[in-house]
Structure 1
Amino acid sequence: MQKLVRLHYYLALLALVFSRAAMADCGDCAAIAQRFAQKEQFNGVVLVGQGAQVDYVESFGVADAETKRPITADTRFETGSISKWIASIVVMRLVQQGQLSLDEPVATYLPDYRKDTGSKLTLRTLLSHSSGVPNQVDAAVKNDPTVRDLTLDNAEAVRRFASGDLAFEPGTDWDYSHANWLIVKAVLEKVTGNSYPALVDGYVSKPLGLRDSGVFIGDSAKVAGMARGYAGLTPQAEPLSKPIPNFMMLAGGYYTSANDMLRLLDGLFEGKVLSPDRAAELMAVLRPDQHYALGGRTKMLMLGRQERSVAWEYGSNGAFRVLAWRTLKDGHSVIVMNNTSFDHQKIGDLATRLLEASYR
């Protein structure tokens, strides 16, 4: 019996040693992040990993200033425009299954859409912001913030905010237009007969075992486990919320945690959602001046003394800032999440230092 107890003790000790070694693979990451957090009063979570392995993760500050609930690696954050990348992953899954084509005219899927432009637009031009569809939805929100509180079906949302005259011929230029995603939502739900949240759950969350991810509408504070958004925490907490209307969920309605984001990055590029060919097509740059692919960006960064291709995902909405980078060849990843309107340039600088440190 004593031998068995000692065996269990040594096995537990061995597991602890290996656990600490795994967390120490990025030896400089803790010092980099902790200095940054102290100097900049950063409130959020930082994670560095390779493949599915977490090499370093640390949380700073509070998810809820009123209750003092701390941020953890499982705290949920709005992801802003990373939502567009998630939508593109869903589209590519349906392309892989033969239910959609990136180059079929939108009129094929939405016969009631205006004929002159519906025959020119494709999912490829919509997902790459090269459609020419004017950004009427942002203009409408700017003129009347109560537009954020509307609930509209796809036909009405598209008619109001995504049916303007094209600003340029599809594929000839680039314009970051949220109106594109209203059309994509209409296509997805028309072709599949399922709601967009159900598609994300079925094609992304369940296959990858994501526990703290999904789609929300309205005020994200209503989602259990979500970080609250703040314009700042000093000298007092200033709440900040920008509700997402139901017709904008593809453009900004996705939430996730740092742990889930790593699972998503690893699962996507390890073939658990898309085939290697479809994942490569998802990340292939179509608008070089913007490094823009389908719903996200691919950039070349100098890391570990060589240029590496990086899935470069960044999103913001209201107080939330989320960055998720992954080197495409060897899976080095860095994830930074914030809920206090932090300077996005400083977040990018931190991520660059952490990703470089992961190669040392």
Structure 2
Amino acid sequence: MRLLSRIAAALLALLALQASAVSRPVPKGLAGTIDRFVSAHAFSGDILLVDHGHPVFEHAYGLADRADKRPVTAETRFQVGSVSKWFTTLAALKLADRGRLDLSAPLSHDLPGYPASVGDRVNLIQVLSNMSGIQDRLSTRYINRPDVAAQRLSAAEAVRRYAQGPLVFAPGTRFDYAHTNWLLAQAVLERASGMPLERLLQTSVFGPAGLKDSGVTHGDFRHTHHHAVAYASPEPDAAVEVHVIPGYLVPTGTIYSTAGDLARLAHVVYETPWLSRDSMRALMTVHDTAEHYAIGGRVMQRELGGGRVTLAWEIGSMGGFKALLVHAVGDDRSLVVLNNANLDEDTLSAFADDVLEAWYARP
């Protein structure tokens, strides 16, 4: 009986310790910054701040589905738009760590049959940094022709149709945020791994990192469990926005996630030895200083709290869905904002700046 009492006391102490860690007080000024933003923009979505794996602040706002009056919760899943590029890059780096992929090898090595005049001059680093220089024969067609978005092609076949144009600039000399780069990335990863990119992401990123609410959607995202619906604006009568992405463009926006999963992945990637040193160096190396673009996302330096902070900055848009993940590398702080009412990306980035300033403010 005495032993059971001791065990119960120990469990209660552990639970109390965990509760105190999770419920740390919000730094002075931070709550006001968030409240003003939410009120000014009729914000709908989830905002999460995590410090060393512990939530400092999380609040869900508005409705995930206005027709059903279903509220946004911490478990609500949002499409994350171009944050999918970061996920895809992580899968590439995991393949490199396993010796299955050389990011510096020419594309012609990874894609046999690809025109040598281009493939011998371009490598995967240049593709993942949007600096390949390969002519974009896809983006305009994809935007203007619904039939292109509906095509059921393998990535390899889509490369033959849309990504074999000539170089329009020398690889590595300019930034071009084009769908073609990510079609090529998908084709390379699928050939190197021998599996569809969706499965590769599950086995190399989602699963190993412990993500329970992340995945790849094909077709209408509204068929996904715990999904949010995307709207054209915060107005009550705003139209629903549905965007369907073809299976050969997974990196451009087919991934969905929750705020908790995104923060968890940032912690795993940047604060644990989940990647090799070489892969971390590749992930953090900026290739276009004007865009702050590394591979799969941005890396920038900010003066915060009297010191210089390195930020991994991932932002994405998919119709009315907007997603932002900012992680202070080394400080192990993450800010995640997920929105389903078409919040302007510049407004979202400005909010992130305000939050970071308040979070790092000296007492």
Q: So what's the TM-score if we normalise by structure 1?
A: 0.93
Aligned to 1:28: 29
Identify the residue that residue 226 of structure 1 maps to in structure 2. 227
Amino acid at match of 1:104: A
* Structure 1 counterpart SS, 2:341: coil
Structure 2 Cα separation of the partners of residues 229 and 340 of structure 1: 6
SS of residue in 2 equivalent to 1:239: coil
In 1, the alpha carbon distance for the partners of 2:155 and 2:13 equals: 57
| Change in 2 beyond 3 A, CA 1:162/1:13 | closer
Aligned to 2:38: 37
In structure 2, the residue matched to 1:301 is 302
Q: Which amino acid aligns with 1:340?
A: A
**Cα offset for 1:240?**
0.6
Q: Which residue of 2 aligns with 1:18?
A: 20
* Correspondence for 1:215: 216
CA contact (8 A) 1:29 1:357 kept: yes
Is the Cα contact below 8 Å between 1:49 and 1:332 reproduced in 2?
yes
Offset at residue 235 of structure 1 (A): 4.0
Question: 1:312 aligned to 2:324?
Answer: no
After TM superposition, the structure 1 stretch with the greater mean CA deviation from structure 2, 183-192 or 228-237, is 228-237
Deviation at 1:15, TM superposition (A): 5.0
Structure-2 residue corresponding to 1:149: 150
Cα distance in structure 1, aligned partners of 2:177 and 2:22: 44
- Residue of structure 2 in register with 1:86 after alignment: 87
Distance 1:188 1:354 in 2: 36
Letter in 2 for 1:289: A
Per-residue deviation, 1:35: 2.2
Per-residue CA deviations over 1:131-189 (Å, capped at 9, x if unaligned) read 01122211112331222111101222111211111111211222111101111111111
Q: Residues 283 and 298 of structure 1 are in contact (CA less than 8 Å); yes or no, is this contact kept in structure 2?
A: yes
Partner of 2:331: 330
Task: Determine if contact 2:21/2:54 at 8 Å carries over to the other structure.
Answer: no
Aligned residue pairs: how many?
A: 359
Q: CA RMSD in A?
A: 2.3
- What letter corresponds to residue 118 of structure 1 in structure 2? G
Q: CA deviation at 1:30?
A: 2.7
Residue identity over aligned pairs, in percent, reads 35
Report the Cα offset of residue 289 of structure 1: 1.7
Q: Distance in 2 between matches of 1:296 and 1:88?
A: 9
For 1:217, give the aligned amino acid.
Answer: H
Take 1:350 and 1:141, find their aligned partners in 2: how far apart are those partners? Answer: 31
Offset of residue 305 of structure 1: 2.3
Q: What CA distance in whole angstroms lies between the structure 1 residues aligned with 2:91 and 2:15?
A: 43
Q: Deviations over 1:100-123 (max 9, x none)?
A: 111111111211112211111110
Amino acid at match of 1:49: V
Q: Match of 2:157, as an amino acid?
A: E
Asked if 1:267 is matched to 2:268, the reply is: yes
Residue 193 of structure 1 is matched in structure 2 by 194
**Residue type at the aligned position of 2:179:** H
